[in-house]
Chain A
């Protein structure tokens, strides 16, 4: 167990370092080679105070990262959590009713929603907010100063919803696909012929055998969600890590680019490592 953990940790570190090197090279190439800047990403002087464009109040680095991380993690919990919840629950259900093409039916609303361009969704939210609240509804419009911060949840949900729709459709189809793949094996037919009930075949055999494959899908939607947050947060004026990355790129603010990029890379690498460890443990011993 410990050996497995260390092995995957080492692998994760290699991945993480690869991302870091790529990011540094990308920044250097973009700003110094192409942009002609004489400030380098490794220069100490670039890691000074935070520009006013990123925070209207005087704020430390740690406060900025904590504030932005908190906002993104909340949206991520909704988007990624929702994708896993819908994807696994309804994906398994779709696998159970595979003969009725349940996977296509269940994923249809999510697929349709994910086809709606983000722009139109933004417009719809704005129109709804204007009609109902008599005010624009972008995420940075109101600050709740006391009581439960429902607005923060609402703002996070607005940002998370498009990402969640895409990820859910993908997750649902992948889970259902993994189960259908397992269900197409010859032993399933044999079990039918020997008189087992459909429920018993599905839950006691197909699902159990498909479990490692299903678990291996756990981290597949995370990069998608994180990637979509980069433009969704910026489009919705949502102060998270994704918008920090875009604003930093616009400002040519290297620390913001590196911190937000590596924040996402760390999260994705950690989840992948966790998935690999769990999948390895679930694999039947040969």
Chain B
């Protein structure tokens, strides 16, 4: 049995051999897969990549790489086509002429240009008996009245227009009425605008007809009928927008992006009770109609100048994956690993909480030159530093320890400051004393030395608030002038507002002996807001104001405080949008349920400015209006603006550059920077420097 003994005694050697083999194989791993990848060290796991809800930090950055917006901002912050390739606006005017001959004469004069003003561009004219249908380019609100005014009055029909509006199926109910009506002969022409509106052009004595119509619809109150006698009028008009989508955009699973996706996203995000709150941005849209897979007709009830800004905000999601019996759990699962249409697609979620992205080969502007991006969580600073020295990390979301190391070792990293996109403020409830008094609010602002409150951290920086609008926007006029730190003036303002200092207690009290006191609600999950609240409370206490800080969860703040406006003061943070339309935030009609005017600001000048801002086309006039709004809000102080904040990233010095694809040309290589439009405009084009080689340069995708 010598062999058995030999085998037994030699068996440990098998383990040694196994260990050697394992060592050899593992050595071969060597991260060969990601040697060309751009590697991003992150601090926290990446959450749900949901473009429908506000996001911050790395999760937002990755979401922006996965989903493409309908419109984009160029480097000068002007709105440019993206998924929406082009759009035209048209005004359709239907004119009822006195007779067929009059219509023929009017048509010939129209075609010869006799009836047209200089700025009128006719796209189409059609005639059907005595009705002329004219399509004009543009949305000018005076177009129809000017055009009809140019007509020979004898050619126009003398009709009275009665407009009927019901909640739905106007055709069915009206036909039922007409089948039994005895006065229907008064109707000369009938036109259905849409499913809810009918225009009846009547002639002669209409009193009996109106009485009959009213009686009929009074018995059908469920339709919520509204009968309007518009007056003597021979024309109707209708405004619509034609939108053309790019036909070369694919979702990451290869499915073509079409109008169906846009309509589905619009309907899902703007439907009643939608949790996403986009409905308020599309108040001017009446109906969306698919013309073909890449063209869309939008019926517009109104034509504000800010329409395209609303479309810019609308995220699009794939209809083929999200429609039809999809449960909430499916939505959550979808946003864990979403199918988007942006320059990058998800390769896999890493078990360390990171994510691996691969360049979208089907991306309509051409795939990004950087073929792989890895976001990974690395356990310790030591690991980060070793990986950095081995050129295995290109970008880092720094922590304090890394920032300290970086300062001690200059030349290795480069700090990249993104734009200050987030605004932090304390919203006052203007319907509650004592903050209903402007003097008290001004004093509260004057009492605080914001230089003490603001601070820079490893991952973010804070700057003074200077405007309500996105920094650098071409439409922004004068900045917002906010009260400066002046404790003496604060004392004086509070005295004038009736709050004297009770020296024995160190607090201010009103003439009735009520102390100047309020509750400041803050989001308990925001460490920065907790810190800010502490600093503010301390400074307000120094002028005798007692502040009770009430931390609570964001969901409770939303449902129990903001929606019901049951608060004294609440500290909020919002992302400064690109758009200029702020009616939903500051207009007096936005106070209350569903509105965004949580402060309850009611000011005629602000209201008028907001309304004008929505419709004004001229850039210079817009600048005046934005300056006026900045001034109005700064002066009224419905909020106490604490600061604007932005992200800080650490990049390997000279490790990354921006390689932008250019239509029919060589890609443009630029040094890394943020630009006016922020990080999201350049982030897709980040490339590790060493892999940019002439032979690898991409073929000529285009540029917005």
Contact = CB atoms under 8 A, between A and B. Distances in A.
Interface of A: 56-57, 82, 85-86, 89-90, 92-93, 126, 130, 132-136, 138, 140-145, 150-151, 153-154, 157, 203, 237
Contacts of A153: 22
Contacts of A57: 45, 351, 353
B387 A135 contact: yes
Interface string B1-43: 0000100110110010001001101110111000000000000
Task: Give the interface residue-count category, chain B.
Answer: 20 to 34
A133 B22 contact: no
A157 B26 CA distance: 12
A57 B44 CA distance: 11
A134 B45 contact: no
24 contacts: A56-B352, A57-B351, A85-B12, A85-B15, A86-B12, A89-B12, A92-B9, A93-B9, A126-B386, A132-B30, A133-B31, A134-B391, A134-B392, A135-B31, A135-B387, A136-B383, A136-B386, A140-B352, A141-B378, A142-B31, A145-B351, A150-B26, A154-B23, A237-B380
Given A136-B383, A154-B22, 13 more contacts: A56-B352, A56-B353, A82-B15, A86-B15, A89-B11, A93-B9, A126-B386, A133-B31, A134-B392, A135-B392, A136-B382, A143-B350, A145-B351
A170 B45 CA distance: 43
Given A130-B390, A134-B392, A151 B382 contact: no
Given A143-B351, A145-B348, A154-B26, A89 B9 contact: yes
Contacts of B474: none
B379 interface: yes
A95 B544 CA distance: 87
Nearest to B11: A89
Contact of B352 (A89, A90, A143, A144): A143
Given A56-B353, A57-B45, A89-B8, A150 B22 contact: yes
Interface centre among A82, A86, A134, A203 (most CB of B within 10 A): A134
A54 to B, nearest CB: 13
A76 B383 CA distance: 26
Given A56-B45, A57-B353, A82-B15, A140 B25 contact: no
B465 to A, nearest CB: 33
A56 B11 contact: no
Nearest to A161: B19
Interface of B: 5, 8-9, 11-12, 15, 19, 22-23, 25-27, 29-31, 45, 348, 350-353, 377-380, 382-383, 386-387, 390-392
A89 to B, nearest CB: 5
A138 B9 CA distance: 33
A134 B389 CA distance: 9
A140 B15 contact: no
A142 B379 CA distance: 11
Contacts of B383: 136, 138, 141
B292 to A, nearest CB: 42
Contacts of A90: 9, 12
A126 B27 CA distance: 13
B62 to A, nearest CB: 16
Contacts of B5: 203
Contacts of A142: 29, 31
A122 B386 CA distance: 14
A153 B390 CA distance: 25
A157 B392 contact: no
Contacts of A203: 5
Given A82-B15, A89-B12, A90-B12, A140 B379 contact: yes
Contacts of A93: 9
Given A130-B386, A134-B390, A151 B351 contact: no
B390 A135 contact: yes
B669 to A, nearest CB: 27
A166 B391 CA distance: 37
Given A89-B11, A142-B31, A150 B352 contact: no
